[in-house]
Amino acid sequence: MYSMTIIGVLLLFGAIGLIAYLVGTYNIFVRLSNQIDKAWSNIDVMLKQRHDELPKLVEVCNSYMAHERDTLEAVTKARSAYDRSMTADEKARAENRLSSALGTLFAVAEQYPDLKANQEFVHVQQRISVLESTIADRREFYNDAVTLYNIRVEQIPANVVAEQANYRTRPLLDVPKGDRQDVTLEFANRIKRA
């Protein structure tokens, strides 16, 4: 006698649940997408801070490393390239080159004891080292954010909402090629050449 009423109530719960699921899933995509944009902005802030430290580093190194003009120029060029870069992709690539140039500079600086003893150099090196660690952490965070987003975009049944709302998977930040190389070996070769 009351079965139709009960079935109607249950169907009503189901319909409300379905709508709430669709709205919730769409809102998750909005949140995840904004989370990725924010993660990139947070990397950009750190890149700018490191960028501001570079003139001091080059200035202090210049007086000790007159024979390492190429190394210093590589840092200056990479910095200029970062200045010119506009899109996130360009910035990421310029940042990779800058990291690589800085890595070379610090490795070469090991051969200059006077420079290593310079307080200003030590301070700038520490500051850049801290910033680089933070950048590395934030890159990892960015990739985590992108991975969470991409998983949602591809998961069933959320992919239906993603497809309808035109949310597509996003690329991860690449690890610079230099970071994948054997640093010890590279350094050893450089010493041999020197």
Partner 1 sequence: MQCPHCRTCLIEVPSAQSPQIDACPRRHGVWLDAGEMDLFVDNETVYKSSTVTGAAVAVQTATLCPRCATLLDEHPIGAEGTFACPSCKGCWVPEGVLTRLHETYGRGGTSPFEEEALYVRAAKIQARQDQRTAMQDVAKQGSSAELLYWYVIGGLISLILGVTTWESLRRVMAPSHWSGKIDEGFVLLLLGVAGGIALFVHGFRLNRRKRFIETTPTSTIRSLAVGLVEVTGKAEPASAMLNAPFSAMPCVFYYYMVEERQRHGKEEKWVTIAKGESSEPFVVRDATGGVTILPIGADLMLETRGTYQNTGSIELPPAAEAGLRALGIETAGWLSSKTLRCTEGFILPQETLYVLGTAHEGDQEQSVNEARLFIGRHPDEPFLISDRGERALIARMRWQVWALYYGGPALTAACLWGLLHTSLTAVR
Contacting residues toward partner 1, per CB under 8 A = 1-2, 4-6, 8-20, 22-24, 26, 28, 31-32, 35, 38, 42, 45, 77-78, 80-82, 84-87, 90-91, 93-94, 97, 130, 133-134, 137-138, 140-141, 144-145, 148, 152, 161, 163-166
Q: Which residues contact residue 26 at a Cβ distance below 8 angstroms, ignoring those fewer than 6 apart?
A: 161, 165
Handedness of CA 113, 115, 116, 117 (dihedral sign): positive
Q: How many helices (H) and strands (E) does the chain have?
A: 8, 0
Q: How far is the CB of 113 from partner 1 (least distance, A)?
A: 29
Nearer residue to partner 1 within complex by CB, 119 or 166: 166
**Measured distance CA(68)–CA(193) in Å, rounded:** 13
Q: State which amino acid sits at residue 181.
A: Q
Nearer residue to partner 1 within complex by CB, 141 or 187: 141
Q: Which residues contact residue 115 at a Cβ distance below 8 angstroms, ignoring those fewer than 6 apart?
A: 60, 61, 64, 65, 109, 121
Q: How far is the CB of 191 from partner 1 (least distance, A)?
A: 23
Nearer residue to partner 1 within complex by CB, 50 or 97: 97
Q: How far is the CB of 140 from partner 1 (least distance, A)?
A: 8
Nearer residue to partner 1 within complex by CB, 56 or 93: 93
Q: How far is the CB of 121 from partner 1 (least distance, A)?
A: 21
The tokens describing 114, both together, are 């006077």
Q: How far is the CB of 82 from partner 1 (least distance, A)?
A: 8
Q: Are 49 and 131 in contact (CB under 8 A)?
A: yes
